[in-house]
Amino acid sequence: MKSVDRTKVLFLGIVLTTVIATSIALPKSLPISFSAFGHDVSYTIGSPVINFSFFGRPVYKEFEFKQGLDIQGGMQVVLEADMSQIDALDRPDALTSAKEIISRRVDLYGIAEPQVQTSVNDNSYRINVELPGLSNSADALALVGQTAQLEFGLFEQVDLEENPEASLSGGVTIVPTGLTGQMLKKSSVQFDQNTGEPLVALQFDAEGSKLFGEITSDHVGEPMGIFIDGSMIMAPVIQTPILTGEATITGGFTPEEAEQLSVQLNAGALPVPISVLELRTLGASLGEESVKNSIQAGVVGIGLVMLFMILYYGAQGVVASVALAIYAVVTLALYKIIGVTLTLPGIAGLLLSIGMAVDANILIFERMKEELRKAKPFTVAMETGFGKAWDSIKDANIITIFTALVLINPMDFAFLNRSGLVRGFGITLLIGVLLGLFTGVIVTRTLMRLFITEKMTVKKSGGAK
């Protein structure tokens, strides 16, 4: 493919991406009304809603900004896990299990973008829970203040005439077996030696082994439900009597699914007493009006940057401003698509990344001016300018990417930051830097190749006469 054809294909891709991103970045509902030729025109536009069925499974997605605790307010709960009865080697698993069950409860409650994080300091094991939008302390304690309960139950068909309420569950009732998580020593992920498929292994204590052996002997071929906090997570079928106290659960798991089930089982197998150290109600520190003011300030700032670029670089500045506008809408659309939570530090990270995106264009244009002063042809000067500027842009952005990764702490290292707000700043900064590289180099270069000629740049660049 020729260079000109490749540039046109890139341009069409940029236009298509910009159109899609703009539609997603729009508010959920934006009313527009005006008068034209004596007629009043009024309609409403907004971000699209995905709603369709895929192989019988409904797919629904609304593109909305998620708001953090500092914007919409909510509850913050600090929990202390009592590990005095847990072996030292099992304490990390116990803390992870407690975090998992609390996260599951919060998700089932429907809280938008909760933050559940663990912290370990010497012998202090804590779980920090942020619940945006929740203002009732009783609800918060009900969600996070109870110890997980793992239970095993059987299913029994009942007479609907004698028990009409059972019709809600299809005429089936749950029969407790007395087998609980306190009798389960541990759950782990293993792999079948013949097929290599992942499976979940269970190991019961002496009391649990005896009871589990009686249950499996009397109910071969029947399903046995596994319940956590009263909700069934799965119902494997009993294949054979199990008298050793060691069982395996199979079912075509992926390694991730097997690990998830093992963590859920350990949440009941390693019950950790939890006490509430701190419970705070946080009001929205920004509020709706403050958020609007912040957005307006950001728009004004971007506008001033665009004005400076146009006045100083002329046609090149126009190209840079268009690239910056594309960067802005793609960034906002990406925030909605991947579900970035907007917080005050996150907004600061966005504004900082905008400045870095402009820096890339300035480096490119100044390198081009240097090449034009050497009386090089415009096309050569443009390509050389981009090539020479790339090293500086790359080095500066790589350092910023590493800094953002340290702030995000994706591996959850104990010696690095674990604050949700600081991670929010790091995430928006990382996204902004990566998109800034794309728009500063790919978008700007494509637009320059198509729309900027030598007559537009020599005068502004101070090139040879």
| Domain presence at residue 364 | yes
Shared domain check, 257 and 348: no
340 and 356 inside one domain: yes
Report yes or no on 278 lying in a domain. yes
Note the pLDDT of residue 419: 62
Residue 165 lies in a domain: yes
Residue 272 near residue 95, CB atoms below 8 Å:
yes
Q: Name the domain boundary from 251, 266, 282.
A: 282
The Cα-based distances of 343 to 126, 280, 352 in angstroms read 24, 18, 14
pLDDT at 19: 92
* pLDDT by residue, tens only, the chain of 465 residues: 555 678 888 899 999 999 999 988 888 777 777 777 777 777 777 778 777 776 666 666 778 877 777 777 778 888 888 888 788 888 888 888 788 777 766 765 656 567 788 888 878 888 888 887 777 767 666 666 665 577 888 887 665 555 555 444 455 678 888 888 778 888 888 888 888 888 888 888 889 899 999 999 988 888 888 887 677 878 888 888 988 888 888 877 888 888 877 777 776 654 577 888 888 877 766 566 666 777 777 778 788 888 988 998 888 889 989 998 898 889 889 888 887 777 777 777 777 777 777 888 888 888 888 888 888 888 888 888 888 888 888 888 888 899 888 888 877 676 666 666 677 788 888 888 888 888 887 898 899 888 887 655 544 444 433
| Lookup: tokens for 141 | 């304690």
Question: What is the pLDDT at residue 18?
Answer: 93
CATH number for the domain spanning 447: value is: 1.20.1640.10
- Residue 456 has a pLDDT of 59
Cβ atoms within 10 Å, residue 313: 22
| Boundaries of domain holding 371 | 287-461
- Domain end: 266, 282, 298, which one? 282
What whole-number distance in Å separates Cα of residue 383 and Cα of residue 394? 16
pLDDT of residue 69: 73
CA angle 397, 400, 402 (to 5 degrees): 110
CATH of the domain at 138: 3.30.1360.200
In a domain, 274, yes or no: yes
- Residue 131's SS3 state is strand
In a domain, 249, yes or no: yes
416 burial level (CB within 10 Å; 0-12, 13-18, 19+): middle
